[in-house]
Structures are given as C-alpha cells and as structure tokens.
Amino acid sequence: MVQGQLFILGGKTAVVNGSSNDWIIRAADFQSVLVFDIKENKAITMATIGDPPDGTLGFSAVAAPDGTSIIIFGGHNPNATEFAPSQDVFLLDTCTLKWSKPSVGGNIPAARAGHQAVTYGNYMLVMLGYTDFNANDGHTYTNDISILDMSTWQWVDSINTQTTAPPSAQPSCRFTMPHMPDDGSDGGGDDGNELPYDPTVISNPNSSNVTAKAVGASLGVAGFLCIVGGFAFFLYRQRKDSRTPSPRWLPGALSRKAGKTQREAKANAASPINRTSQMSGADQQSQKSDTPLTSPHAVP
C-alpha cells in the first residue's frame, strides 16, 4: 500500500478454462501491475517500463523510505528447470511504474524465497525463508537475518542505533489513475452498478518519454538505425495499444463476451416486454458467477 493505492504484482494468476471449467494457474510476470485506488474506488492494470525482474514466487516487498517506491527481494522462478532462488534487489517507482535495479554492495545474503522482510527507518530486514528445494528432501530452510541500508544500498551487519530515525519522507509524486476509456465492455456488478475497472492492460504513458530519450542519444550514431528504431517503436506501440486482457483479474472482467451478455441482459430487463419476466434460480446464479469480485465462487 503506497499513498492509499494498492499495487498488486508478481505471484500467481488464475483463469478458468472455458471448455473444461478448470482453473489454469500460472506465474505472473512483472511487466504489468494492478493498481487499486482505495480512495477513488478505481482499478486499472498498466504496463511497467524499465528493467523488470523475472516472474518470481516467494519474494518479499516493502515500501521504500522515499514514500513512493516498492523494493522487492529474492523469490524464485517457477518456470526454471531447477530451483534457483534470487538474491537480487529491484525497485519499482510507483509514480511511473518504472523498474530499476540498484547497484547493491556489502555482504549479500544467500539467495532465498519464502522469506519475510520489514523496514525500520532506512533499513530493510530480511529474515528466514528457504534456500534450496528438491523432491527427496523438500525445502532447506535458513534462520538468518540480513540488513540492507537503503540509504547507501549496502548490506550491513548491524543497525546504527546512535543515529536518530529519519522523519517520514514526504512523497514527491503519486500514481495518476488514467481516464478509463469506454470500450463498451461491462465491469460487472450484481446490483446493476458497474465496477470502475478497465479489464485490459493499459500502455504506460511514460514509455514514450523513455524511448524519446534513447532515440535522441542515438541520433549522432546512425540515422538509419534511428529510422529502424522509430519503426520498431511504432510496432511496439501498436502492440501495446492492442489492449491485451489483464492477467490479474477475475474471468468475468476478462471476457468481453461476458460483458456483452450482461449489457444485453440489462437492456432486456429494462424493456416493457421483459419487465415482468422472472429469471430462474439457475440463470441468476449463472449471471452472478460471471461477475468480478462479487461472486462467492470467484476464487478457488
């Protein structure tokens, strides 16, 4: 939670296979983030930019001292052929959703997953977790505690208790919820109220600024490469603007067909002919089960 906004990233996603009605579980990547603003009651999924980490499970995430960033550490890639935990530190700027990897020094702790992390002033304390796994012996756990000084990006042996705890940082920016275009889809809602949610991955408006700087720096190298790069960027933006479904939402919001069905049902219910018609119990349950967040059976 950063400034009243919940950032949901990594972990696993689950969608329903329409033909078999089975849940399909996949590891989520960090190329998009679901942002839910608890003050505005709005949610969107936006693409991230920069240098994102690989899709990992069992990582830790804490709020950085600057009041605008999220720091993640460790985790493991479930798609790897062998268990290979990470010891990397990544930083997500929540204002721009830009990933970066700070240069970290000191006595770097063992790579791990399934651990916990907390903050104390400018320090992040990483504790416990497991460093290895195999089918025969299971997990290899560790009980150590490591300390990262986030003001110097150095792993240290102890916390300097002689210094006064720094005051809470005043955030210099906040993630701006974009206007959600009306694409004709329905966000759901059992009581007829549509949820303020765009069920597609929105392109990051800050990506154009990053690309413009890169192109400007390369103008003196080769004009031809600039032309090729511009064309590649055009194709990239076209793909971004295709608005792929969000991997971090329930199936009711992912299905445009479901939204269309709900709108048609509302239109039919509002017509004088169908105003007195009654839905069967099975039809009511079917309609409810296709609605995000409101269905009691939405999560396995």
What is residue 262's three-state secondary structure?
A: helix
| 146: number of Cβ within 10 Å | 22
Q: How far, in Å, CA of 119 to CA of 147, rounded?
A: 9
Total of domains in the chain: 1
Ordered per-residue pLDDT tens for the chain, 300 residues: 888 899 999 888 777 777 888 888 878 889 999 999 998 888 888 999 999 998 789 999 999 999 999 999 999 988 888 899 999 999 999 999 999 999 999 999 999 999 999 999 899 999 999 999 988 889 999 999 999 999 999 999 999 887 766 677 788 889 988 876 554 444 444 444 444 555 578 888 887 654 444 434 344 444 445 454 554 554 445 444 444 555 565 434 433 444 444 445 455 555 555 544 444 444 444 333 333 333 333 333
Tell whether 75 is covered by a domain. Answer: yes
Q: Which CATH number characterizes residue 63's domain?
A: 2.120.10.80
Contacts by residues 157-164 (CB-CB < 8 Å, ≥ 24 positions apart)? 157/107, 159/120, 159/121, 159/123
Tell whether 12 is covered by a domain. Answer: yes
Domain that holds residue 30: 5-164
Tell whether 136 is covered by a domain. Answer: yes
What is residue 117's three-state secondary structure?
A: strand
Tell whether 60 is covered by a domain. Answer: yes
